[in-house]
């Protein structure tokens, strides 16, 4: 395990400020990447309708042919590496689709889809802390907010621009600092909520910062201004849309920062972490709670917890969502017939007084430890 941990690859993301020439080149690359992806997806979809399958090698040959046509000759103006990479990404999307792990791939939109381009080692040069992409004469002006690991050599570089107009570069490197932490006896049950973001089986409650609520008035005002702009792609509408995106980006940044600090702390302190296997995608269909659930970031919390546990040799156990953690007495094991959300404290027939969330976290921990011992699923 130690050797594998030393080979863990980790993405290091930084902001950068391109020159006017670099910005034009990158935007052109983003457009070409989107064009190639959509052309390849259309070709594979047509083949799928004929009950034929087209693989990556065939789409790569199509790309070579497209570049020779007068209509698509502009594809030769950008680096070929990101174009090949987008075909590999499409192949991965189809692999997940055929394995029934994802939906059928969708076409990329100029306005809504993420603007990004991925470069492999042949498409960039990284020397003395200076990163230069293919087709560019000057290195990127990167803000090194944290250092890369000593001797790190990026295997891939992804350049992107978010809806707020900020530029980012993400470098995938081997990080020798990612290795299993010393084993500990700590184990904790974690119950997520809205009033309190997390309630731990230790009795600790972590408040929900409600990041979106802090900027709700400002966001609503910006959105109203955007809705009043004339439809289309005019300069005023782009400016208003960019202002809305900046507010949303600030909210997302605060949420992500808080979740990173929280998950890192939990993983460092505990060997076993037990959570509830919630289907957040279905829960946000509830119009009453959708906004609050999305703001809480339950899905992002679980994702961070799981990959950090893998990095540091910890274990995350997900208990079945139908397990009656809130209705089960953690002292005597009696299950209450009903437990409305309005009930925050209750007393069992055995005389034990419970805080709803703390009791649920204790039950999740007990159920998770039973899974770790028996290896069985947890059902009511």
Q: How far apart are CA 92 and CA 16, in angstroms?
A: 29
Q: Which residues contact 138 (CB under 8 A, 6 or more apart)?
A: 19, 22, 132
Give the active site residues. Answer: 191, 276, 357
For strand 272-277 and strand 187-192, is the pairing parallel, antiparallel, or unpaired?
Answer: parallel
The Cα–Cα gap between 67 and 69 comes to: 6
CB 284 within 8 A of CB 322: no
Radius of gyration of the chain (CA): 25
The encoded tokens of residue 311 equal 């990095």
Dump the DSSP string for 57-89: HHHHHHHHHHHTSSTTGGGGGS-HHHHHHHHHH
Strand (E) positions, 134-246?
A: 156-161, 167-174, 187-192, 196-200, 205-207
Alpha-carbon separation of residue 331 from 164, 290, 350, 351 (angstroms): 51, 33, 8, 9
DSSP labels, 269-298: H-SEEEEEE--HHHHTT-TTTHHHHHHHTH
Written as six digits, the tokens of 319 are 């208990």
CA angle 194/197/199 to nearest 5° reads: 110
């Amino acid at each position: 395990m130690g050797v594998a941990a030393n080979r863990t690859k980790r993405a290091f993301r930084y902001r950068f400020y391109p020159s006017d020439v670099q910005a034009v080149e990158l935007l052109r690359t983003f457009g070409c990447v989107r064009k190639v992806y959509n052309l390849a997806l259309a070709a594979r979809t047509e083949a799928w309708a004929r009950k034929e399958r087209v693989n990556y090698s065939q789409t790569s040959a199509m790309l070579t042919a497209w570049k020779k046509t007068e209509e698509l000759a502009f594809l030769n103006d950008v680096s070929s590496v990101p174009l090949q990479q987008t075909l590999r990404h499409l192949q991965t999307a189809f692999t997940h689709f055929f394995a029934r792990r994802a939906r059928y791939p969708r076409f990329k939109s100029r306005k809504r889809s993420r603007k990004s381009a991925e470069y492999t080692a042949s498409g960039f040069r990284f020397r003395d802390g200076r990163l230069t992409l293919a087709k560019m004469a000057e290195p990127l002006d990167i803000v090194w907010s944290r250092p890369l690991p000593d001797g790190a050599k990026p295997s891939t570089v992804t350049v992107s621009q978010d809806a707020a107009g900020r530029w980012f570069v993400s470098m995938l490197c081997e990080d020798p600092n990612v290795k299993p932490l010393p084993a500990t006896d700590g184990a904790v049950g974690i119950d997520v909520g809205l009033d309190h973001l997390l309630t731990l089986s230790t009795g600790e409650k972590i408040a929900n910062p409600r990041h979106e609520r802090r900027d709700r008035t400002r966001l609503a005002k910006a959105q109203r201004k955007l809705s009043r702009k004339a439809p289309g792609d005019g300069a005023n509408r782009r400016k208003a849309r960019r202002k809305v995106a900046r507010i949303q980006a600030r909210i997302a940044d605060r949420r992500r920062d808080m979740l990173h600090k929280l998950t890192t702390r939990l993983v460092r302190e505990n060997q076993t972490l037990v959570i509830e296997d919630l289907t957040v995608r279905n829960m946000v269909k509830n119009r009453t709670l959708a906004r609050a659930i999305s703001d809480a970031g339950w899905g992002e919390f679980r994702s961070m917890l799981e990959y950090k546990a893998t990095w540091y040799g910890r274990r995350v156990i997900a208990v079945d969502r139908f397990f009656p953690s809130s209705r089960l007495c953690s002292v005597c094991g009696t299950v209450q017939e009903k437990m409305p959300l309005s009930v925050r404290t209750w007393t069992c027939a055995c005389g034990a007084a419970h805080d709803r969330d703390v009791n649920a976290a204790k039950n999740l921990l007990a159920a998770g430890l039973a899974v770790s011992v028996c290896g069985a699923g947890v059902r009511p």
